[in-house]
Amino acid sequence: MRGLQGKNVILTGGASGIGQAISLRLGEEGCNVGIFDLNGEGANATAEKIRAAGGTANGYAVDVSDYDAVASAVAAFESDCGPVDGLVNNAGWDKSMPFLDTDLELWHKVVAINMYGPLNLCHVILKGMSERGGGRVVNISSDAGRVGSSGEAVYAACKGGLIAFSKTMSRELARKNITLNTVCPGPTNTPLLAEQGPKLVAALERAVPMRRVAEPEDYPGLVSFFLSDDASYITGQTISVSGGLTMHG
Ligand SMILES: NC(=O)c1ccc[n+]([C@@H]2O[C@H](COP(=O)([O-])OP(=O)(O)OC[C@H]3O[C@@H](n4cnc5c(N)ncnc54)[C@H](O)[C@@H]3O)[C@@H](O)[C@H]2O)c1
């Protein structure tokens, strides 16, 4: 990818799954990667893998739903590496159950991680990008946010909200040379999906035209592309990576 060498990129949720795969790729592309995760040990382990492969990375233990914690971690990253060039909002969480069985406590947790998380990171980081006149944001949403997903009503609402937020911010900040694009994973072989149980996974495999769920390695190429110079005229877009499960005109 063009233009990624030496770029300072913060990624949330890089201790596991899709975020870990994206982090490793960004390290290979020559980015200085800041891995923000609730699981600080896991974030450090991913950073260590990047360093072992010759790249530059640091892990930071941070809860993305806590605005002050996010602001402190961004300040720590910027003092380690310099101003943030790119942000990947990837951390996410859900507990699947019918909406009528959910309670307020679950709603608050799902909204705090999946909606407030990206809002916090964007609010803290986009101010600096705007002042400097450039930056890239990739938001990891979900096909649930485009077409809905039974058992994931509040999560799907957050993911749909993230798509609308990205489009709005891409309009507000286009003249500042800041792009925001959204990647929507379909069902993916990570701990988040494993929690749903083998029966559901088998049903999803039958539903996907390519007859398999995604692997975390299916995402880093597109995310790197959106962060690269090759994508400088692309903003406000939403792309599904789901083996043909979701097709939009
Ligand atoms: N796996 C799927 O089938 C699937 C499908 C659609 C969308 N997604 C989305 O892809 C993204 C990555 O999911 P994954 O499957 O790799 O999940 P995962 O559970 O493997 O990894 C998520 C990471 O986010 C971190 N995290 C959770 N809450 C956090 C918080 N409050 N602060 C900081 N870090 C936190 C976790 O510690 C973990 O390392 C999520 O946004 C998810 O919603 C996943």
For residue 237, report the distance from its CA to the centre of ligand 1, in Å: 21
Distance CA 7, CA 125 (A): 15
Tell me the CA–centroid distance for residue 241 and ligand 1, in Å.
16
Half-sphere exposure of 149 (CA within 13 A, CB side): 27
Ligand 1 near 27 CB (within 6 A): no
Using the atom order of ligand 1, give the atom closest to the CA of residue 188.
3
Q: Rounded to an integer, what distance in angstroms lies between the CA atom of residue 140 and that of residue 65?
A: 16
Amino acid at residue number 241: V
From residue 25, give the alpha-carbon distance in Å to each of 1, 57, 117: 11, 12, 23
Active site residue 233: no
Q: Which atom of ligand 1 is closest in space to residue 143's alpha carbon?
A: 6
Close Cβ partners of 17 (under 8 Å, ≥ 6 residues apart) = 188, 190, 191, 192, 216
Distance of CA 233 to the CA centre of its chain: 21
Q: Which CATH superfamily, name and number, covers 8-238?
A: NAD(P)-binding Rossmann-like Domain (3.40.50.720)
For a pocket test of ligand 1, which of 10, 12, 190 has the largest count of ligand atoms closer than 8 A to its C-beta?
A: 190
Our answer on whether the CB atom of 118 is closer than 6 Å to any ligand 1 atom is no
**Cα angle: 152, vertex 153, 155; to 5 degrees:** 65
Model pTM?
0.98
Best mutation site among 24, 74, 93 for ligand 1 pocket (most ligand atoms within 8 Å of CB): 93
Q: What pLDDT is stored for residue 192 in this prediction?
A: 84
| Ranges of the chain with pLDDT below 50 | none
Quick one: pLDDT at residue 196?
81
Determine the pLDDT at residue 33. Answer: 98
Q: Which of 60, 116, 155, 219 is catalytic?
A: 155
H/E element, 44: helix 40-52
pLDDT of residue 249: 66
- Would strands 135-140 and 56-61 be described as parallel, antiparallel, or unpaired? unpaired
